[in-house]
Amino acid sequence: MDIINDKLIKLNLKVNTQLEAIEELTKLLYNTNRITSEDVFIKGVLDREKAITTGFGNGIAIPHCKSECVLNPSIAIGKSINPLEWNALDDKPVNFIILLAVPKKDSGTMHLRLLSRLSEKLMDDEFRTALKNANTSNEILVLLNNINILNKH
């Protein structure tokens, strides 16, 4: 199963808060049978967020959760119409959210590997700009495929 597909990407998110964004992306995971419980997953994401912000900077956030309710490693992506307060590292609002879901049973390095690959690539201005300017799910999938994030699991 692919980590991400077009059913896990929602452009033009109509949300006004960090929580609403997380809830919308969690619905994508639930509706594609990637997680067994929206509530448990959201709680896990918010608990992680309380520990340290996942606002990466440059308008991007990478919230994540490693949980028993996650069936398959997955990424859900949302692009918010409205800028969202996220307590980001650069104190700027976020409008591009990359939500990572990792099964608790997976080796301890799966989520770290995903985070590392994404973080490294997001430091690249050209990649980050292309990702944020993508207007279709396919454009996003092509960009992520180029960094080997779409491995089948």
56-84, pLDDT tens digit by residue?
Answer: 999 999 999 999 999 999 999 999 999 99
Distance CA 56, CA 41 (A): 20
Distance CA 57, CA 75 (A): 19
What is the predicted pLDDT for the residue at 138? 95
Taking the C-alpha atoms of residue 7 and residue 26, their distance in angstroms, rounded to an integer, is 12
How many helices, marked H, and strands, marked E, lie in the chain? Answer: 5, 6
Q: How far is Cα 89 from Cα 61, in angstroms, rounded to an integer? A: 10
Architecture of domain 6-146: 3-Layer(aba) Sandwich (3.40)
Structural domain boundaries in the chain: 6-146
Give the whole-angstrom CA distance, residue 16 versus residue 13. Answer: 9
Position 1 scores a pLDDT of 67
Please give the model's pTM, rounded to 2 decimal places: 0.91
What's the one-letter identity of residue 13? L
pLDDT at 153: 41
- The first and second tokens of residue 12, run together, are 């033009």
Q: Percent of the chain beyond pLDDT 90?
A: 73
More confident site: 103 or 106 = 103
Mean residue pLDDT across the chain: 90
Task: Taking residues 85-106, report their average pLDDT.
Answer: 93
Percent of the chain whose predicted confidence (pLDDT) is above 70? 92
pLDDT at 151 over 70: no
Torsion angle, alpha carbons of 66, 103, 85, 12, to 10: 180
